[in-house]
Amino acid sequence: MDSPKVPVTLITGYLGAGKTTLLNRILTERHGKKYAVIVNEFGEEGIDNELVVDADEEIFEMNNGCICCTVRGDLIRIISTLMKRADEFDGMIIETTGLADPAPVVQTFFVDEDVQSKVALDAVVTVVDAKHFLSAVDEEHELAEQVAFADIILLNKTDLVDADTLSHVKSKIHALNKFAKVIETVKSGAPLEDVMERHAFDLTRILEIEPGLLDEEDDHEHDEDIISISLTTDQPIEPEKFSQWIRGFIMERGVDVLRTKGILNLEGQENRYVFQGVHMVMDSAWGAPWAPGNRSSKLVFIGRNLDEGELNEAFQACTVAA
Amino acid sequence: MDDILGLSRPKATGDAQRIKALAREYLRVPESATVMVSELHCHEDGCPDVETVIAVMGGGDERRTWKIDKPMADISPEDVWGCIK
C-alpha cells in the first residue's frame, strides 16, 4: 500500500497582510504536529520552527513562457530533498513572498510524478489585509491572483476598518473568488482546523461546492479583470457534448482560466463526476453516488475575461435536454 | 470506473522514473541534484502537441533542460542519449 502523501499548505498574501503571523500561530499551537517550512524570504518577524528552508523563487518556464507550463524549480528541488527526511515532519507549509504569482507554485504539485507521488497540495490560504486591500487590488496584479487562487481567505486586520469598508472588501473578494471560504480575523487568529488539513484539492472529498454559493444573487460588478462564475443545471449532462466543449474551452482559454471546479450529473451514471483544474492542468474522479432527488450539476470558473452568458449557454447546450 | 470525459491526469506509469534514471546515468548527475521529467500538452501557438521536458536542477550546476517531441511512454534510451549527448 502507498504511504500517505505529506500535506502541503500554501500561504500567500500581499506584503504585510499577516502571513508570517499566521505561520507562527500554526507552528506554535499545541497540535502535536511538526511542519517543514519553506519561505521565500526571512522577514522582520522570525519563524518559530526547527526546520525552515529558504527558497529562491526560481520560476521555471518549461515552454516558452506559457503560464500553463510554468512551475517553481526551487520548490521541486526543495521538496525532493525534504522528502528524503520525511519521517521528521507531518506536513509542509510554504509561505510565498507578497509578490509571488501563485500559479507556478500550485502547478508545481501537478507536473512532476515524484512530487505528486509524495506530497499533496492541501489548500491555498490567502491572507488579505482588510485595511489596504481596496487601494491595492486594482493596481497589484499579484494580489488579485492570490485571492483568485485561494481555497481559504483570511480577511485579516478587520479591527482596523469600519463596517462599511469591511463590507466593500468582502464584496470585492467575492467578485474575484466565490469558491473560497472567507474567515474574518484579527492578527491572523483563525481556528487552525479552518486552515489546515482542508483537502481542498482532494477530488474524492468534494461533495459540494460551497453550499449556498450558487443560490446567491449574482450582484457583483462584471467589469473586474478576474471574476468567478458559477453555473448550474438540473438536467443531466450528455458526456460527449460536455467533454468536447470543456476540453476545447480549456485548450483555447486555459491561460485565462485560473481555476475550474465541477460536480456533474452525467446521464446514465449513479455517481457524481468531479473534476478540477488549474489553468490547463485538469484532473477528475468519480465521487459518491447521488442522493435520490437532488442531482444538480455545478460548474465554477475563476479567470480573466470570462463571459458568463456565453459560458452558461455553452454549458446548458451540453445537457440532454438541449 | 473509466474517466468518460477524458479529464483525468495520466496515471504514473513508471516512464518518468525510467527517463530520470537514464538522464542520471548519461549525465552522471550527482545524488544531490534533482531530475524532473514532465510531459507537456501545451496548446499555445508554436508548441508541439506533446513534448517531454527533462530538467536537472542543483548539484552545483545551473538548471539544464532538454526537450523531446514525444510522449514519455515512447521515449527510448537512444532518444535520451540523442538529446543530451
Band of residue A212 on the pLDDT scale cut at 50, 70, 90: very low
* Separation of alpha carbons A91 and A88, rounded Å: 9
Three cell numbers written together for A75: 520548490
The beta-strand segments (E) located in A14-151 are: 35-39, 52-54, 59-61, 70-72, 91-95, 119-129
In terms of DSSP bridges, do strands A181-184 and A52-54 run parallel, antiparallel, or are they unpaired?
unpaired
| A216: CB partners within 8 A, 6+ apart | A178
Averaged pLDDT of chain B:
86
A residues 101-120 closer than 8 Å to B (CB): 110-114, 116-117
Q: What is the pLDDT of residue A269?
A: 94
Tens of pLDDT, residues A44-64: 677 877 788 988 888 888 877
**A220 pLDDT above the threshold of 50:** no
Which residues of chain A lie closer than 8 angstroms to B51, CB-CB?
63
Helix (H, G, I), strand (E, B) or coil at A231: strand
Taking only the tens place, the pLDDT of each residue in B1-55 is 677 888 887 777 889 999 999 999 998 988 888 999 998 877 666 777 789 999 9
Q: Is A80 on the interface with B (CB under 8 A)?
A: yes
Q: pLDDT > 70: what percent of chain A?
A: 93
Phi/psi of residue A261, each to 5°? -150, 140
Which domains can be identified in chain A, with CATH numbers? 6-201 (3.40.50.300), 205-316 (3.30.1220.10)
Q: Which residues of A touch B9 (CB under 8 A)?
A: 110, 281-283
Range with the poorest average pLDDT among A206-210, A217-221, B30-34: A217-221
What is the average per-residue pLDDT within A197-212? 72
* Under 8 Å between Cβ of A316 and A230: no
Does the residue B21 lie in any domain? no
Q: Which domain holds residue B68?
A: 32-84
Question: Does B8 map to a domain?
Answer: no
Render pLDDT for A84-126 as a digit per residue (tens, 0 to 9). 999 999 999 999 988 888 999 999 998 888 888 899 999 999 9
Report the domain count for chain B: 1
Q: Report ipTM (2 d.p.).
A: 0.86
Backbone angles phi, psi at A189, to 5 degrees: -85, 60
In a domain, B23, yes or no: no
Provide the number of CB pairs (under 8 Å) joining chain A to chain B: 93
CA A124, chain centre distance (Å): 5
Look at the block and give the residue holding cell 518549461.
A62
Give which of A249, A233, A245 is closest to A316, Cα–Cα. Answer: A233
Residue B6 falls inside a structural domain: no
Q: Is residue B10 part of a domain?
A: no
Distance CA A306, CA A145 (A): 15
Instruction: State residue A97's pLDDT score.
Output: 87
- Name A322's bridge partners: none
Task: Give the cell for residue A191.
Answer: 481556528
Greater pLDDT, A50 or A309: A309
When pLDDT is averaged across residues B71-84 and rounded to a whole number, the result is 93
The rounded distance, in Å, linking the Cα atoms of B58 and B44 is 29
Cα separation, A118 vs A80, whole angstroms: 9
According to the model, what pLDDT value does residue B11 have? 74
Query: Tens of pLDDT along A17-44?
Result: 999 999 999 999 888 899 999 998 766 6
Considering the entire predicted model, what is its pTM? 0.89
Tell me what the pLDDT averaged over chain A comes to: 89
Identify the bridge partners of residue A38 per DSSP, sorted by sequence position.
Answer: A53, A94
Residue whose C-alpha is closest to residue A228's, from A265, A269, A256, A208: A256
Question: Measured between CB atoms, does B38 come within 8 Å of chain A?
Answer: yes
